[in-house]
A and B are shown apart, each in its own frame.
Chain A
Amino acid sequence: FFQHFRGRKNRCYKLAVRSVRRAFVRSTKARKEKKRFLRALWITRIEAASLEHGLKYPAFISNLVKSQVELNRKVLADLAIYEPKTFKSLAALAQRRRQEGFLAALGDGKEPEGIFSRIVQHHY
């Protein structure tokens, strides 16, 4: 477990025992923090991609959720990297839902309901 350590930790038993113990503990804690780190990474990637299409991250995510599209951040980041056209269409969807939300909030009723704001009930 300690062959690749630096200095006398890879040769002397006493020092190696201590550093191996610390390495195990750190790996267990890092496994929990890896999830947080990856989520932050995905969020920054999605933010960069949505800014290229003229939308900010909170607007993008909130409008996607309001249009009943339940994609998580990992998949959104992968789409932004490998499928730019799909990401562009998702950004356009979010933008359209945002405009409809603004109209609904400012107009205050008695106007045609937005198309993309309709809540769909499916039977599978």
Chain B
Amino acid sequence: VAKTSLSSPPWPEVKLPDPVEEAKYHAAEVVRKVNGLISAGQYGRLFAVVHFASKQWKITSEDLIMMDNVLEAECGDRIRMEKVLLVGADDFTLIGRPLLGKDLVRVEATVIEKTESWPKVNMRFWRRHNYQRKKIIANPQTVLRINTIEIYPCLS
């Protein structure tokens, strides 16, 4: 076919790599390398994205998280967070679809304090209608400290 302006489609032709070959390469090279790195312990600081209290948090070790609700755990309790969406280090990241397995990642946290927030004023006012309502709201808050994030080399 002669090469005219309409002989080939205007978008760039992209050839994806062969799926069988790619699966082999992935299973052999990539997984082995990453497993080797994890078992050798050659990662610096791990960060994780955790779904907790209906919010997603990007957490590392030794950092504080404050949530606007009550947890049914006493102060000083250790909590293991499931529902890890993403774990990463300097050289590699493990992206979950959508979650990562519990035998892969372990995120530990401790409940530090359970306080109330500062008293917020909730006021409604309509002018010229003699309507105003004032309400002071103090939400209960919980502070957690993330102790450790660990990964185990059980990829496949």
Enumerate chain A interface residues (CB-CB to B < 8 A): 21-22, 24-25, 27-28, 31, 67-72, 74-75, 78-79, 82-83, 85-86, 89-90, 93, 96, 99-100, 102-103, 112-115, 120, 122, 124
Contact = CB atoms under 8 A, between A and B. Distances in A.
A96 B17 CA distance: 11
B97 A75 contact: no
A110 to B, nearest CB: 14
A99 B81 CA distance: 35
Contact of B19 (A22, A78, A93, A115): A115
Contacts of A113: 19
B13 to A, nearest CB: 10
Nearest to A100: B16
B23 A28 contact: no
Nearest to A73: B56
A25 B124 contact: yes
B93 A86 contact: yes
A24 B97 contact: no
Given A78-B58, A79-B58, A112 B19 contact: yes
13 contacts: A21-B123, A24-B121, A69-B96, A75-B49, A75-B57, A75-B86, A79-B49, A86-B86, A96-B16, A100-B16, A103-B14, A115-B23, A124-B82
B123 A28 contact: yes
Contacts of A71: 49, 56, 85-86
A17 to B, nearest CB: 11
B102 to A, nearest CB: 6
Given A83-B88, A114-B16, A122-B99, A75 B56 contact: yes
Nearest to A67: B97
Interface in B63-79: none
Which of B121, B123, B124: most chain A Cβ within 10 A? B123
